[in-house]
Amino acid sequence: MVKAIEWKNNAVIILDQTKLPFEIRYTECTDYLMVAECIKKLCIRGAPAIGIASAMGIAIGAQDIKAKSFDDFMNKTQNIMETMLSTRPTAVNILWAVERIKRLLYKHKEESIRKLKKLLIDEARKILEEDIEINKAIGRWGAEFIKDGDTILTHCNAGSLATGGYGTATAPMILAKEQGKNIQVIADETRPVLQGARLTAWELMQADIPITLITDNAAGALMRKGLIDLAIVGTDRTTRKGDVANKIGTYTVAVLCKENKIPFYVAAPLSSIDFNIDSGELIPIEERPSEEVTTIWGHRIAPEGVNVINLAFDVTPFEYVTAFFTEKGAFLSRDIKKLAIKTIDPNSLRLKPI
Amino acid sequence: MVKAIEWKNNAVIILDQTKLPFEIRYTECTDYLMVAECIKKLCIRGAPAIGIASAMGIAIGAQDIKAKSFDDFMNKTQNIMETMLSTRPTAVNILWAVERIKRLLYKHKEESIRKLKKLLIDEARKILEEDIEINKAIGRWGAEFIKDGDTILTHCNAGSLATGGYGTATAPMILAKEQGKNIQVIADETRPVLQGARLTAWELMQADIPITLITDNAAGALMRKGLIDLAIVGTDRTTRKGDVANKIGTYTVAVLCKENKIPFYVAAPLSSIDFNIDSGELIPIEERPSEEVTTIWGHRIAPEGVNVINLAFDVTPFEYVTAFFTEKGAFLSRDIKKLAIKTIDPNSLRLKPI
């Protein structure tokens, strides 16, 4: 399994996904600004992966901090956190990582600065390791909803490259295959940045899962022909109500699934759920440069001077989601908010496949 | 207005649309095989335009025929017609042009071969001229359904490049603008061949109609945000029931319109209506080379060896169509078949805007 990100010899090693699948090139980030730049430029992308990258960025940035008190250290760490938060607005995982690190630091505020710096590195590496375990769990729960012979549509890349490993939307596919189920996957190419064509197709070919690439335009026709049994996508941020922000075009997939009576599943680690907001309309939607639309791989495909709208994400309202696959089980939209309540046993809410 | 095709000095002059908008290059076809090749390679595309090109191809091919009798001439012309029919299977306009030319020849079977050859050239040029008038009429009827301030979504290119001039889907936009209505257009880029980005955006910029380019993935999100008032698309073949074959992704636009309660109009000259078949499932759907998906502008965007499905068209069932804009007026799906009945006055069926 290719690693999107790693902590090695006091550097953050990031696989440059903008070059995939044609070039395997790693960037060795030795300061936090390099990490932030990698996130902004999509060298690393995918909600869980940029959560991990942010934690590692904060950890590496903190090593250079000179501070005499906890408050001083905290202030300077805060600046690094702000830089990370400013890279990409839609995914909640950066915020999630920042909050987790803050809690850790306050918990250990009596420790020495040196110790705090070490704790940050340990925590960042722990976030990466946990992510892999979380994805395996998502995979186990999600695989229950995949039948032998199923063809699964996915949009964008919520694969191992978007995470510490296994992926979120791809984990159920990998687990289903491990369980001996005969499955195949159809990947939307996912314009503008073509993560489906470049990343998902490549990953699943490497994982030996039969994969067919289509343009985003073709998903509807294949559904109508009865060639797709279910769809699984990832999420950059899901609200407590179950509104799902994910790569632009996800809403279209959800509408097509509804129209064709095909289950639409969202693989959502709890770190991607924003329990603080209710409606998807409150999620900030990143607009990216128009060049992502007017050029492909550096080559112009549209007339000079054309006006462009390039929303990176869209919001799929909760009512389109058949179920969420999380590390705690599969759940209906209406039960998502209850997962924040510590006294509730997820077992009592868990959805069983029909 | 740029001309996609012209008859000049006993040659068919075709604007090579595969190079647009970056290069204005014309191909001078001096035999019918060159015309057929232009159609196959998408140098000329769009249902009405390839109908015109086929008629011109037959006319130019017939000039070289050596025949001693009408039957001999007809047989040899038939071979040329078969070549034209084999270029692209989905659009009905080639068949329509072939049938029209056959009727013409049989009507004049007593004429000399020399006269028949001349008649073929005249007929091909007449088809081109009529097409422009037809599109203007489509534009006038369609413009009635466009209100001042409307934002119109279109998919692929059913503009002047796809026709003799004015376009089918673009004619109502041009007429609405001429009527002083303040409109703007959003163009889906239309993968895989990007006719929206390359052709529609370019044409409408030249026509001074405000145009915004989006990826195919973004149409749904914009509809949900209330930024699109209506959609107008063309058609390569519409059945008597009103099922619409058009560029892949059209079905998706129609489903999104339905879900967001946005009118979905199809601009359909009568030449694109196949009164002989009822269900869209009977329309042959062209599958095109996988390289259209895995490469863009000659540059690879997907891993070597990936499996691809590349359907060029999809079928939108009649029930998604709010109205058809034809040269005889705007009609509901259920009335399309009645347009074939010569004794029916289109006036009695015509749909009025609300």
Gap from B161 CA to chain A (nearest CA, Å): 15
Do A303 and B216 count as a contact with CB atoms less than 8 A apart? Answer: no
Give the closest residue to B167 by CA, choosing from B138, B147, B196, B143: B138
User: Would you call A218 and B315 a contact, using CB atoms and an 8 Å cutoff?
Assistant: no
**CB A5, CB A52: distance < 8 Å:** yes
The residues of chain B that CATH labels 3.40.50.10470 are 140-348
| Contacts with B5 (C-beta within 8 Å, 6 or more apart), sequence order | B12, B13, B14, B15, B44, B49, B52, B53, B56, B128, B164
> Tokens 């309309």 map to which residue?
A281
HSE-CB of A268 using CA atoms within 13 angstroms? 33
Instruction: Look at residue A134 in the predicted model and tell me its pLDDT.
Output: 97
ipTM given for this complex: 0.95
Q: What is the pLDDT of residue A118?
A: 98
Cβ–Cβ of A314/B224 closer than 8 Å? Answer: yes
pLDDT number for residue A298: 84
Place of tokens 């502008």: B297
| Averaged pLDDT, B235-245 | 98
Looking at residue A108, its pLDDT comes to: 98
Residue A2 has pLDDT above 90, yes or no: no
H or E segment at B295?
Answer: strand B295-296
CB distance A255–B256 less than 8 Å? yes
The pLDDT of residue B52:
98
Cis peptide before A346 (omega within 30 of 0): no
Q: Which CATH number fits domain A5-134: 3.40.47.10, 1.20.1420.20, 1.20.120.420, 1.10.579.10?
A: 1.20.120.420
Contact A192 B215 (CB under 8 A): yes
Chain B CB contacts of A22 below 8 Å: 300
Q: Round to whole Å and give the CA distance between B336 and A191.
A: 36
**Helices A32-40 and A70-85, packing angle to 10 deg:** 20
Mean local confidence (pLDDT), A288-306: 94
Interface of A with B in 174-203 (CB under 8 A): 186, 189-192, 194, 197-198, 201-202
> Which of B22, B213, B299 is opposite residue A297, by nearest beta carbon?
B299
**What pLDDT digit, counting tens, does each position of B174-221 carry?**
999 999 999 999 999 999 999 999 999 999 999 999 999 999 999 999
Q: Any chain B CB within 8 A of the CB of A19?
A: no
Q: Out of B188, B236, B243, B335, which one is annotated catalytic?
A: B236
Domain ranges in chain B with CATH number 1.20.120.420: 5-134
Q: Which residues have a Cβ under 8 Å from the Cβ of A341 and sit 6 or more positions away? A: none
User: Considering only the top CATH level, what class is A140-348?
Assistant: alpha beta
Question: SS3 string of A246-266?
Answer: EECCHHHHHHHHHHCCCCEEE
Sort out which chain B residues have CB atoms less than 8 A from A205's CB and list them: 303, 305-306
Among residues A265, A258, A259, the alpha carbon closest in space to that of A353 is found at A265
Out of B218, B255, B296, the one facing A311 most closely (by C-beta) is: B218
B344 touches chain A (CB under 8 A): no
B299 contacts in A (CB within 8 Å)? 296-297, 299
Phi/psi at A36 (nearest 5 deg)?
Answer: -60, -40
Q: Please report the pLDDT score of residue A303 as a whole number.
A: 97
* DSSP alpha helix (H) spans, A152-242: 171-178, 195, 201-206, 219-224
Sheet containing B273-274: which strands, arranged edge to edge? B273-274, B237-239, B244-247, B313-316
- Asked whether the predicted pLDDT for residue B274 surpasses 90, the reply is yes
pLDDT for the residue A297: 82
Integer-rounded Cα Rg, in Å, for chain A is: 20
* Mean pLDDT value of segment B151-178: 97
Other C-beta atoms closer than 10 Å to the C-beta of A178 total 11
Interface of A with B in 242-271 (CB under 8 A): 247-249, 251-252, 255-256, 258-259
Q: What is the pLDDT of residues A258-271, one digit of tens each?
A: 999 999 999 999 99
pLDDT tens, residue by residue, B79-101 = 999 999 999 999 999 999 999 99
Contact present, B119 and B108 (Cβ < 8 Å): yes
Chain A CB contacts of B191 under 8 Å are 189, 191, 215-217
pLDDT at B297: 83
Q: How many Å apart are CA B117 and CA A15, to the nearest integer?
A: 66
- Interatomic CA distance for residues A271 and A273, integer angstroms: 6
- Please indicate if any CB of chain A lies within 8 Å of the CB of B23: no
% of chain A residues with pLDDT over 90 = 97
Residue B22 sits at φ, ψ, to 5 deg, of: -95, -20
Q: For B267, list phi and psi in degrees, rounded to 5.
A: -85, 115
